[in-house]
Amino acid sequence: RQRQMCIRDRHNLSLIKDDYDYIIIDNSPFKSYLTTCAMCASNKIITPICVDNFSYDGLMSLFDTIEDLNAKYALSIEFAGMFMTRVAGRTTLYKQMFESYENMFGDKFLPVSIRNCIAVNESNTLFEPLLTYDKRSTAAQDYIELVNYLGLMDNKHYRELAKYLKGEKK
């Protein structure tokens, strides 16, 4: 049954993929049926990691899951990278973990970190996008930097976003 769902999800996304440059599926980090379906429908996976050992363990589990899904369903899901999130200042621990991940994972470690920000928790609680909840929050700025780093936004849209962030009209 899970195989049928994975194939169906991948097929359904293929019906609309030509309409979009990117389709981003943001889901819970917990291993579940929905997470598995999202992974099966994906070509690439980018994951956030926190400054703790639990994130490292979760990352290792994610690698195993990708490998298992690729083998089980003849997929070619690629692990495209990771970035640090919920970063509390530029602490010694953060700097050590940043350097450690950078050394371990090379170019799979994205050098953009998302700062810890109460606006993220508040916007999640209200089910409101961070950019509409608090577009000037440090985390919103960091996420924009991440999107820019990944090259997911062309210059025209980046300029429109910059105007929006400044409060200007189009």
Amino acid identity, position 10: R
Q: Are 85 and 49 in contact (CB under 8 A)?
A: yes
Angstrom distance (rounded) from CA 154 to CA 30: 32
Q: Which pLDDT belongs to residue 112?
A: 95
Cα 168 off chain centre by: 28
Q: How many CA atoms lie within 13 A of 64 on its CB side?
A: 7
The reported pTM is: 0.84
**Backbone Cα Rg of the chain:** 17
Token duo for residue 38: 């999202």
The pLDDT of residue 167 is above 90: no
Q: Which pLDDT value is given to residue 63?
A: 94
Least confident piece of the model among 7-11, 119-123, 164-168:
7-11
pLDDT in tens, 64-79: 999 999 998 889 999 9
- pLDDT confidence band for 133 (50 / 70 / 90): very high
44-49 and 78-87 as β-strands: parallel, antiparallel, unpaired?
parallel
78-87 sheet: strands from edge to edge:
44-49, 78-87, 109-115
pLDDT digits (tens, 9 = 90+) for 25-83: 877 777 888 888 888 888 899 999 988 878 888 899 999 999 999 998 889 999 999 99
- Tell me 112's DSSP state: E
Q: Specify the pLDDT at position 9.
A: 73
Instruction: Return the pLDDT at 146.
Output: 93
The stretch 90-107 carries a mean pLDDT of: 92
CA distance 1 to 17: 24
Question: How many whole angstroms separate alpha carbon 101 and alpha carbon 49?
Answer: 10
